[in-house]
Chain A
Amino acid sequence: MAKQLFVTPYRCIDCKNCEIACSFIHTQDPQKPALPRIRAYTFKGDVHSVALCQQCEEQTCLEVCPTGALVRDPETGVIKRTDACILCRTCALACPYGNIHFDPLNKEIVKCDLCDGDPFCAKYCPSRALIWAEEPAPDLEPEMEVEGLLGEEEARYSANRCLDCGGCSECHECVNVCPADAVKLDMRDEEQILEVSSVIVSTGFNLFDAHLKPTYGYGRYPNVITAMQMDRLLSPTRPFNHVIRPSDGKRPDNIAFVLCTGSRDQTVNNRLCSRVCCMYSIKQSQLIMGALPLADITIYYIDIRAFGKGYDEFGEQAKAMGVYFVKGKVAEIKETENNNLTVFYEDIAGGDGLKDAEHDLVVLSVGLLPNIDALNLFDEGLLEADIYSYVKEIDEDINPGKTSIDGVFVAGAASAARDIPDSILHAGAAAAQAAAYIERMRADK
């Protein structure tokens, strides 16, 4: 009798090793991991199982394919995709079990091909919920939760299936092959003592943690992301070639930006404006317009603070490109069907009072907070903070960047939220004063 893939749901522990193994074996380009053909699921919290192509006799997928790209191997009975596929995804719709998927990263239709007769998922299933055998595994007694010791053969087999995802065995091969001699295995932390005449503190800011605004659902709803995550999706070295949303890898077509997340908000104990969020959100909205020309983008704001040189013009440009600006602070975000999100807000400019709108991706424009680590750089209490815990500038009007310690200057967002142009100017001011301080020290000697 030919081997088959048997699934024993009660043994599945939802470890998803099968998914990982499937992805590994099917990945062609390491930068574009393949979508797994097998899916591990948890039902109602504690029932686990996996789903994969049944190679059904009633072959709906094969029949609906308009180009005949799906064929059944006459010998093994496995249904396979051929090059005739035009990515129409009709088979994915037709599959009664939802076991055919579209892989957006690699742009292909994926379905189980049983690894040409050696399914990796079964190899790497630690609980033997999946086995590749001629007959199903003998049932365990329900109460018999503990299995016997492994025999030698089994032990060797188990040791061999380690994927060794991140382990280093210190074989030093990397040291030997690196042409630039860049790998050092004997490096340890070292403390250096530098004698300097002046110090510039440029320790930057902390980002507001979006979890602290629970009404916006960050961390609970997969399609609520922060603007930093959106920036990653848009950057030239982005992980995917497209802007996609986390829950299903779909390209969003109705995106909301929620400004002042963690800024101008007494409920999270930050009354200050973060100064940069309006502009980075507008920048991102313009970039998204380029990446997803058909997407609707809405920016929910209290005030658009496009105050710097060329900023207001940049905001108007976004408006002209079709970005919707809605004046109203968002009160709450709730998840609806398909992981879409309902945004509740007050429509101030439209005069319509409380309203809600559905979006398929929400970006929280998180604000800037002081980096209080800066205050611990010097002996306790020496470096004074202002009432917001930023490094205090004791004479901002005439000596911007001068701190409570003589010869110590602060630059950039360590003393207040600042955007890049203002940080650069502020840093230039700190440099000029540090140089003057050193010059004075030298003259006094």
Chain B
Amino acid sequence: MKDRRIGVFVCYCGGNISDYVDVNKVRDAIENEPGVAVAKTHMFTCSDAAQQEIIEDIQNEKLDGLVVASCSPKLHLFTFRAMAERAGLNPYQYVQVNLREQCSWAHRDNVELATDKAIRLVRAGIAKTRLTEPLSTLRIETKPKVLVIGAGVAGLRAALAISDLGLFVFLVEKEPEVGGWTRKWNKMFFHDQRGDDIIDMLKDQIKQRENITLFTNAEVVEKGGSVGDFSIKVRVGKDDTISLEVGAIIVATGFDVYKPAEGEFGYGLDGVIRLPEFKDLVTQSNGTINYNGRTVKNIVYIYCVGSRQFGDIDNPNLYCSRYCCSAAAYEALCAYEKNPELHQFHLFRDMRTYGKHEVLYEEARTRQSIFIRYEDEDPPVVERVKGKLRVRVHDQLTGGEELEIEPDLVVLVTSMVPRENDKLVDILKLPVGLDGFFNEIHPKLRPVETVVDGVFIVGAAQSPKTMAESVASALSGVSKSAALLMKGYVDLEPFIARIDTELCEWCEECTKACPYDAVEKVSVDGKEVAHIIESLCKGSGACIPVCPKDAIDIEGYTDVQVKAMIDALIQEAV
């Protein structure tokens, strides 16, 4: 091991660390560790002033390794890497030690042992730093093209917005026609625009764009490559397969309407229909609303059908579907507009007409709609008795009084459910949440990004949304794709696997273990060995334990480094 000059900076975090960890004792304990040239403490290491001081230390003391013992790397890894870079130090010779989330905050009850643990953690960080090598990022040229999967309202709007920015779009739709659910609908809340009009308008605009190619009756069947440089195979029609090269992928596959089980709130009985079907009835009506040739006078709406269930096998949907309360209240207003003589009863659990949608609820209450709250555990019962529909419900407002309503029509206010597209999930390797919708990286801060770099999820494929919300999320996905592609390149972390070709004897175990298809077989001097495809490797480490020859290491997390860290952790503390 050559002599290293490592700088160690321990942070008070303004008391967050120093209230429970004796920061100066930590500094004193490690300042004589082999390789440590500078050891200091700072009140806030992340402050500009402290960073400036550290940069000066790096330059004056000619440091070749850096340890900051502060908060979680999730918060400031990139801050300090950038600082190292500004000081002329290779950013991958920086190691962050987490003394806050993993030490001071966790051990408020025992200052002494917390300090002891902090010393060990910092020693481990130093041990790792002693073995760091300068690494450089992997730069990949990006393709200025985006694949949009699904041509519903979100996909269409996304395609137009990408085209606006001068990028090419391939828009792939499974159905023979574009427009998804929106195309099938007439007047929609909140602005009374017609769904079919909106789709026609978007379709017309797309036709005029030279940089949008639309495939209908088409499905994505294969995905290779990685962020900035994906290679995609699309099956068009029955037999044609075409290959595309794109830099980013926007998934806008939308939702399905919940299909209740036979007998669920009377589903299957004559006169029990779902909200989308009711919407069609209202659209078709001229004056009165008719169902199967009969005039409808009394309507019962049952809310939360397929939403907020109890999580058992028959009722798996725990989530709230968000759009349905507002949509049902709006539909009641549309029905009232057609026929003010209607009696409409809404059986609900919580009215979730959030934000400005509140006025829909307010208006419906003044227009012949009666809202009856039922208890979660005591849902309404729908039966057909002597040829007539009958709904029984306990009304909370009247102290649980049982009401009997004989409606002509029961409208089940059904939820949005995730589309069944297991094949696509498999091809894109996208994670799916407990609710069955695609999962984002962070629900608040990164709602359209996924763990697969360069693949974005928008619209109702991510979670139930209204049309306007779907469009907002689609445009958000466009922002993210454009920010990625318009720069022309992406830099990938260098933490990828490396094969020691002298040890490797190509047994295939690593390629079997790799979830990213990043290992290929090559021949080196006539010997068959494994080779890592840099742009595909994510540094997951899945290949390492399965290698019988210990021929694989992850850059930045080598076996030697990890062992050195463990040794430092269990060393007797002073």
A residues at B contact (CB < 8 Å): 31, 178-180, 182, 236, 264, 271-275, 303-313, 316, 327, 348-349, 351, 388, 396-401, 416-418, 420-422, 424-429, 431-433, 435-436, 439-440
Contacts and interface: CB of A to CB of B under 8 A. Distances in A.
Contacts of B142: none
A416 B466 CA distance: 15
B445 A309 contact: no
A-B CB proximity, top 4 nearest: A428-B476, A351-B399, A180-B49, A436-B164
A349 B445 contact: no
A421 B443 contact: yes
Contacts of B190: 396-397
Interface stretch (B316-324, B423-431, B522-530): B316-324
Interface centre among B16, B157, B202, B358 (most CB of A within 10 A): B358
B377 to A, nearest CB: 11
Contacts of A273: 353-358
Contact of A316 (B198, B318, B354): B318
B362 interface: yes
B482 A429 contact: no
26 contacts: A178-B49, A179-B53, A273-B353, A273-B358, A307-B320, A307-B325, A307-B352, A308-B322, A309-B437, A312-B307, A396-B191, A398-B157, A398-B201, A421-B444, A422-B472, A424-B444, A424-B476, A427-B476, A428-B448, A428-B473, A428-B475, A428-B479, A432-B165, A432-B478, A433-B161, A436-B164
Given A351-B400, A418-B355, A428-B448, A436 B471 contact: no
Interface centre among B48, B472, B473, B482 (most CB of A within 10 A): B472
B351 A303 contact: yes
A429 B355 contact: no
A336 B111 CA distance: 42
B164 A439 contact: yes
A303 B191 CA distance: 24
Nearest to B324: A307
Nearest to B105: A236
Contacts of A436: 161, 164-165
Contacts of B47: 180
A440 B476 contact: no
Given A271-B362, A348-B397, A312 B318 contact: yes
B247 to A, nearest CB: 16
Contacts of A435: 164-165, 479, 482
A332 B188 CA distance: 39
B350 interface: yes
A422 B473 CA distance: 9
Contacts of B356: 272-273, 388, 416
Contact of B468 (A274, A397, A424): A397
Contacts of A416: 355-356
B91 interface: no
Interface centre among A179, A236, A305 (most CB of B within 10 A): A305
A274 B448 CA distance: 24
B463 interface: yes
Interface string B421-461: 00000000000010101000001110110000000000000
Nearest to A429: B475
A308 B476 CA distance: 17
A182 B318 CA distance: 52
Contacts of B188: 397
B191 A397 contact: yes
Contact of A305 (B202, B350, B400, B444): B350
A424 B399 CA distance: 42
Contacts of A236: 16
Contact of A309 (B191, B307, B375, B462): B462
A347 B117 CA distance: 52
Given A312-B320, A397-B198, A428 B358 contact: no
Contact of A348 (B318, B352, B396, B467): B396
A15 B475 CA distance: 59
B182 to A, nearest CB: 10
B477 interface: yes
Nearest to B445: A424
Interface centre among A264, A396, A424, A425 (most CB of B within 10 A): A425
Interface in B339-396: 350-359, 362, 373, 375, 396
B76 to A, nearest CB: 15
B125 to A, nearest CB: 24
A271 to B, nearest CB: 6
B359 A400 contact: no
A432 B350 contact: no
Contacts of B472: 400-401, 422, 425-426, 428-429
Nearest to B437: A309
Given A305-B352, A351-B400, 19 more contacts: A180-B49, A306-B350, A307-B322, A308-B320, A309-B433, A310-B435, A310-B443, A312-B319, A349-B396, A396-B191, A397-B467, A424-B445, A424-B447, A425-B472, A425-B476, A428-B448, A428-B472, A429-B479, A433-B161
B482 A432 contact: yes
A180 B355 CA distance: 46
A428 B320 contact: no
Interface centre among A271, A388, A435 (most CB of B within 10 A): A435
A423 to B, nearest CB: 9
Contacts of B322: 307-308
B467 A313 contact: no
Given A180-B49, A312-B308, A436-B164, A428 B359 contact: no
Given A303-B352, A421-B443, A436-B161, A272 B476 contact: no
A272 B360 CA distance: 10
Given A420-B444, A425-B448, A182 B463 contact: no
B354 A305 contact: yes
B493 interface: no
